[in-house]
Chains A and B, each alone.
Chain A
Amino acid sequence: GDSVTQMEGPVTLSEEAFLTINCTYTATGYPSLFWYVQYPGEGLQLLLKATKADDKGSNKGFEATYRKETTSFHLEKGSVQVSDSAVYFCALFPGGYNKLIFGAGTRLAVHP
């Protein structure tokens, strides 16, 4: 079945460091891919998305490129801030009457 695999956390970085959170997926067809962020005590918010191969989603300095050849959607940011500390979830949606599938989440802690 369809699935999402994320790198395990926690990821601990100093402010202004480069961030990469790996995400790979397994799916039949052509799913849409998402990154969601969960700040402490809150629900999830969409961070960025990509709907077809080679699309690049971007928001708030974060980027991720839909790579069909490697079935990946890695999240990157060039310079993280303390306010980026949160849990990040990679997700896929196969489309139609189907379920939204999440990875296990990666906790990011950024220290000043």
Chain B
Amino acid sequence: SQTIHQWPATLVQPVGSPLSLECTVEGTSNPNLYWYRQAAGRGLQLLFYSVGIGQISSEVPQNLSASRPQDRQFILSSKKLLLSDSGFYLCAWMWGENTEAFFGQGTRLTVV
């Protein structure tokens, strides 16, 4: 069966520090992978999506970046965090058409 792992669950980081959030998927090949952010009291904002290794599409220009070094690994990074980067980050995957998206449990990031 397919599973998705996202870590860490909670993170508190000072302003200006780097960030690395990791997401891995098991049990499927060549999934579409997504990073979303949910700011407090707001909806889901698509940050990045990837349809294959090394292929990253950015939806919102900001100080975050994403990478997909392996087929089932998706990493969200920042060189210097801002206060506005605080939020709930969700990784998701889909495969094929007309199928559901599977979400990780999310990472709550607080930048202080």
Q: Which A residues are within 8 Å of any B CB, using their own CB?
A: 32, 34, 36, 42-46, 49, 51, 89, 91, 93, 95-105
Contacts and interface: CB of A to CB of B under 8 A. Distances in A.
A43 B104 CA distance: 6
Given A45-B103, A104-B43, A105-B44, A95 B59 contact: no
B34 interface: yes
Nearest to B105: A43
Contacts, number: 61
Given A89-B44, A99-B49, A100-B92, A42 B34 contact: no
A101 B59 CA distance: 11
A93 B94 CA distance: 10
A46 B101 contact: yes
Interface in B81-112: 90, 92, 94, 97-98, 100-101, 103-106
15 contacts: A34-B101, A43-B106, A44-B44, A44-B90, A46-B100, A49-B98, A51-B98, A93-B101, A95-B98, A96-B97, A98-B32, A99-B57, A100-B32, A100-B46, A101-B46
A89 B44 CA distance: 9
Interface of B: 6, 32, 34, 36, 42-44, 46, 49, 51, 57, 59, 90, 92, 94, 97-98, 100-101, 103-106
Contact of A100 (B94, B105, B106): B94
Contacts of B90: 43-44
B42 A104 contact: yes
Nearest to B41: A107
